[in-house]
Structure 1
Amino acid sequence: MVLDNSTKSSLENLIEEQKKWQLLRQYNLQPKRKLLLKGPPGCGKTMTAQALAGELGIPVFIVRLDGLVSKFMGESIAKLRVIFDTMVNHRGVYLFDEFDSIGSHRNTGQDVGEIKRVLNSFLINIEKDQSNSIIICATNLPEMLDKALFRRFDEVIEFPLPSSKEMIAMIKKQLQSFEFESPLDQKYISKQFLGLNFSDIVRACEETIKAMILGGKNKLSPQVLIDALSKRK
């Protein structure tokens, strides 16, 4: 993963606290384990949850909150209760994706009542939870969240769109096993395609590699990469 220094530092601190959670608890301290990840789509929120699970050697479970809300009163809350009960017996990273689907302060539509009940149940459960699992909520729309929700988390981590430097770093990382037919104009790319997310960049790199393979070549074409990035601008 390519992350800015602030985001990387926050995640490294969490990993260290998690690895030494027994030591912290000897001093009646709790390791950080309740995170809110916010930022545009394709900037690494889901990948971060998977990476944390990999670093700690525990499984990752992804819960789509927008699919959890049921039209049958009480059914959504029952499903949520099962998830939090599971956290106690099965340590893991539990990613609640699309958190804004229940945490919005601009509730509209016919399911408002049920959404509010699910949100209240979630807040009660996250406060009562004493498991050793890591709880991560992710949102693409932080401005939609009720500001009162932010204090429920140990830390709020922002995942911005990649900077010019991070964009080039990701391209180099994805294409490090290959050579280009001619020098890549990094300055042009970093300026022209600023605003793309990491997911767009990765897909453009994959498309460039495929074009090389299917074209029977052994070097990448800079123009193919530029064209692939252009399609996603």
Structure 2
Amino acid sequence: MEQTQRHRLAEYNLKPRRKILLVGPPGSGKSMTAIALAGELKLPLFTVAYTGLITKYMGDTANQLKLVFDAMAITRGVYFFDEFDAIGSQRATANDVGEIRRVLNSCLQFLENDDSQSLIVAATNHPKLLDKALFRRFDDLIEYELPNPEMVRKLLTTRLCSFNIKWQDWQHILKVADGLSQAELVKAADDAAKAAVISDQKSISEENLISAILERKNIVFK
């Protein structure tokens, strides 16, 4: 990883990638990536809370955003901007207002001028809402997708490794699981596992797992 070799890169006047944009559906692993990066680099993880950042008063949001970027220069860490479209939405949208333009322009300027040692990780479920100028400010764009059948099988098998599974054919399970994210599949596997533990069972039936998956689908697609 370039970050672990940043001192060697500096000898050649090179800088490691440190501004990353994560794009993909909810539950596909974007937040987990920020957590993993912080853990791998042994850096603190700071999640930017938009509830305190975005205000209704003119200029306040940009000022709050500036404080975040000032903190990056003081404390090296991984700064995670989830739901980044909240501050990076396009300037030409139908409901565009002056304050949104000012916030976006400030964000573009802060990203452009930031020269700290911190990592900036931004994530969005809606890349089409982002202003195109933002993409040029990031070193890397990583796209996430919903799991394919092989990934679904590996994820469920790994999550249920402490239990005996009572089926050989995965086709029905894979068909039912189609459309669920990695996070929702983990929750479904955990629900099936908890039901087995409460029933004092050391195995999980296909019916119980499918029931747990369908329950998650009812919640997600309600």
TM-score (norm 2): 0.91
Residue in structure 2 matched with residue 179 of structure 1 by the alignment: 164
Q: Is the CA contact 1:98–1:140 (under 8 Å) kept in the aligned structure 2? A: yes
In the alignment, which residue of structure 2 is the partner of 1:133?
Answer: 118
2:71 match? 86
Root mean square deviation of aligned Cα: 1.6
Q: Aligned letter for 2:145?
A: P
Q: Which amino acid aligns with 1:166?
A: M
- When residues 67 and 184 of structure 1 are mapped into structure 2, their CA distance, relative to the original with a 3 A threshold, is farther
Q: Residues 48-127 of structure 1 correspond to what in structure 2 (within 5 A)?
A: 48-65=33-50, 68-105=53-90, 107=93, 109=95, 112-127=97-112
Tell me how far apart the structure 2 counterparts of residues 108 and 97 of structure 1 sit (CA, whole Å): 24
What's the offset of the Cα at 1:67? 5.4
Report the Cα offset of residue 222 of structure 1. Answer: 2.2
Q: Which of 33, 45, 53 is equivalent to 2:18? A: 33
Q: Which residue of 2 aligns with 1:206?
A: 190
Match of 1:46? 31
Residue of structure 2 in register with 1:162 after alignment = 147
**Alpha-carbon shift at residue 134 of structure 1 (Å):** 0.6
Q: Does the CA-based 8 Å contact 1:38-1:139 persist in structure 2?
A: yes
The answer to whether the 8 Å contact 2:89/2:104 transfers is no
Provide the C-alpha distance between the structure 2 equivalents of 1:39 and 1:18, rounded to a whole number of angstroms: 24
Instruction: State, as a whole percentage, how many aligned pairs show the same letter.
Output: 47
* Aligned match for 1:217, one of 188, 194, 201: 201
- What TM-score do the two structures reach when normalised by structure 1? 0.87
- Whether the 8 Å CA contact 1:62–1:97 is kept in 2: the answer is yes
More off after superposition, 119-128 vs 42-51: 119-128
1:40 Cα deviation from its structure 2 partner: 0.6
What letter matches 1:173 in structure 2?
T
Name the amino acid aligned to 1:141: H
Within the alignment, does 1:194 sit opposite 2:208 as a pair?
Answer: no
> Residue 9 of structure 2 is aligned with which of 9, 18, 24?
24
Secondary structure at 1:28's aligned position in 2? coil
Shift of the alpha carbon at 1:220? Answer: 1.9
1:220–1:177 Cα change, 3 Å = same
Letter in 1 for 2:167: P
For structure 2, the residue ranges without an aligned partner over 5 or more in a row are 218-222
Q: Offset at 1:66? A: 6.4
Deviation at 1:70, TM superposition (A): 0.6
C-alpha contact 1:69 1:118 (8 A) present in aligned 2: no
**Deviation of the 1:117 alpha carbon:** 1.2
Partner amino acid, structure 2, of 1:214: I
The runs of 4+ residues in structure 1 deviating greater than 4 Å are: none
The runs of 5 or more residues in structure 1 that have no matched partner are 1-15
SS of the residue aligned with 2:76? coil
Q: Give the SS at the match of 1:156.
A: strand
Cα distance between partner residues in 2 of 1:177 and 1:91: 39
